[in-house]
Every structure is written in C-alpha cells, then in structure tokens.
Structure 1
C-alpha cells in the first residue's frame, strides 16, 4: 500500500481463518507454535495473569475485572467459545505482549493500538518480534504480516501508566512509526476504512465457502 502524497511504502498481507478461537489461533501461528496449539496461548496468558497478578490488578481496577479476564481465558475441552471467551483488547493485548516479550499490534477500522511488555527490560532491536492482528466486523481476528516500516498505532494509556521504568524504553525505536500512523490516520482515514471494507468482503467470501 502506498499513501497518496506520501513517500511511505507500507506492505501488509493477511490470512484468514474460518475456525473457532481465531484470535488465539492467529497468535499461535505468528509465534511459531502452529495454529492447532491455540489452547497453549490461552494457558500461557493465564500463567502470565497469575504470575504478575499485582500488576494486572492495578491495571484492571476492581478484583471482579481481573477475574472476568481470567475466566474469559479459561475454556473447557468441549466448550464452545462464546463472545465472552473471545480475545479482547486492550486488556488482553498487554498480557500477550508481556507474556511473549513481543510488540503486539492490533488494527481495526477505528484505529488500533501497539502493546509493549509491561515489565520486561528492553531487548536489542534485532531481537524484537512484532506480530499484528486485524479485527474484522468487530468479531473476527485476522493475522497480518507488516513491513518493517509499516506505521504503528500508539500505545495505550494503560501501558504508559502501568509499565515499569525498565520497560518504558520498548517504545523508543517505534516513536517515529507511531507518529506517522497518527499523521496518516488524520489525513487518509478513508484508506483505513477501505482496507477493512476489503478485508470484511474477503472474510464473508470465506464464510460462504
């Protein structure tokens, strides 16, 4: 994708899944675990929530909110993943990024967010791993591959407020890309809308198969 009146070349490709638990399947695939190991992603996220319980209690507020996120991650072997069991952001975005020490990016027709680890010291830039998911129709996640110069949405206020001093440096290499995303979003919002309309059409075509 190349924006009008812009010298920025943005490459984005995506793959869709017509399967249950698609958000977790996308993460499993992008982390090299294989789509079939989506349950392991849920289990990893549960471990992360319990390991840094104090951090997430501070972020989520009342204990009931923490428990709600925890229950959403639990899925019995034969249980169907109803809406309350889906991958949801921003709350679960921080868990994914911190658990796997990655840069986790989500995009939707409303914008998106970039999630960095909450507590881990910054890795060398060459070791950074970025994964990106698109939210289609507000109910389906699509895994995406983005180029190294693709603009990134800004971090959440929760990360800015709750991350440790050691983790704060994660955002530094991406400040220019996040600033560019904000600029392009203001100037070319119709491109974002067009992208998600295109993806939504493809998604409906897959469902019709």
Structure 2
C-alpha cells in the first residue's frame, strides 16, 4: 500500500520496508524519545520480514510508530482510517514542498487485519494530526499544519456533530 502511495510498484514493498528500517536507524534516538526503546526495537523487528506472500501478523504494519516513519521518510502526509479513530501523520523534520508537489497516502484498516489504499479527492476533511507530532517536530515542519488547518478543524467539527466525543481544535498563533 505504501509502495503504491509513493509511486513505486506494488511489489516494491521490500524496498519500502528497507527505507523505513533506514529511517528508524538514522533517527533512532529521536524515535526512542517519542516512543521508547522497546517500541522502536519492536518496530525494527516487525520490519525485518522480506519473504514473498502475506506477512505474518507479528510483521504487519502498526501505528502510530510507522505512521511517523512513513510520513518523514517519504515527505508525505499519511492518513490512516480505522473504526477506532482516524489519524494524520505529517513529516517531523522537513519544510513542506510547494503545494502542487504535496503527496498524500491514505490507508484504510480493513477486516481487523490489514491496510488498503484509499483514494480521497478534493479538499476532504483531514483527520486529526497525531499528538506526538506537536511535541517532537523540528521548527521547519510547523508550516505543514498551516496549509491544512481549515481541513483539520472541519474534520473535528464533523466528528463533534456526529457524536459526543472529545474534539481537538488546532489553533495557530
């Protein structure tokens, strides 16, 4: 799914796993601060699967750790859609490219077992940004949210109108 989202062939999943392992290795200390050594080591073990066929459950994608790795490694905005709550992951260490060059990947979690690519069109409401992003971003990455604040707040408004769940609104100063 991620391979297709970054314009690679769907059979390029080993390349994606290698890239994400490399992202984790290079920025290991930053990710340890975000998630803990145990979590980072668990993610590393999950990535270490390069056999053909479906990955066993212990090697499948998990969030939020992989969401940050994907967004940061490929400089994309990643949305995950699940019944438990949808989330947006934004690069941690880069300034956004020009708007025409923004790339979005949307993954929907299905059958309680795997992710599939979802194509969203237009100015769709964007799920809430993962909370760790606000705490661990580099200064240059703040601009990502500026471009999408209205869509993020619209998503929060839609959620609040649908149920009595807590709504987070992002305010830029």
Q: Does 1:115 align with 2:89?
A: yes
Of 73, 88, 105, the match for 2:79: 105
Measured in 1, the distance between the counterparts of 2:114 and 2:120 equals 19
- What's 2:136 paired with? 162
Name segments (4+ residues, structure 1) moved above 4 Å.
none
Query: Which has more radius of gyration?
Result: 1
Which of the pair has the greater relative contact order for Cα pairs under 8 Å at 6+ separation?
1
RMSD: 1.5
User: 5+ unaligned residues in a row in structure 2: which ranges?
Assistant: 164-173
Measured in 2, the distance between the counterparts of 1:126 and 1:154 equals 22
**Paired residue total:** 163
Q: Does 1:53 align with 2:28?
A: yes
Normalising by structure 2, we get a TM-score of: 0.88
Q: Does 1:64 align with 2:42?
A: no
- What's 1:82 paired with? 56
- What's 2:161 paired with? 187
Contact 2:79 2:105 in 1 (8 A): yes
Tell which deviates more after alignment, 90-99 or 123-132.
Answer: 123-132
- What's 1:96 paired with? 70
Q: Tell me the alpha carbon deviations over residues 86-121 of structure 1, each in whole angstroms, 9 at most, x when there is no partner.
A: 111111000000000001111112221111101112
- What's 1:30 paired with? 5
How many angstroms does 1:171 deviate by? 1.1
Q: Tell me the alpha carbon deviations over residues 37-72 of structure 1, each in whole angstroms, 9 at most, x when there is no partner.
A: 1111101100111111121111112x2221111111
Measured in 2, the distance between the counterparts of 1:78 and 1:154 equals 34
Measured in 1, the distance between the counterparts of 2:3 and 2:81 equals 18
How many angstroms does 1:31 deviate by? 1.3
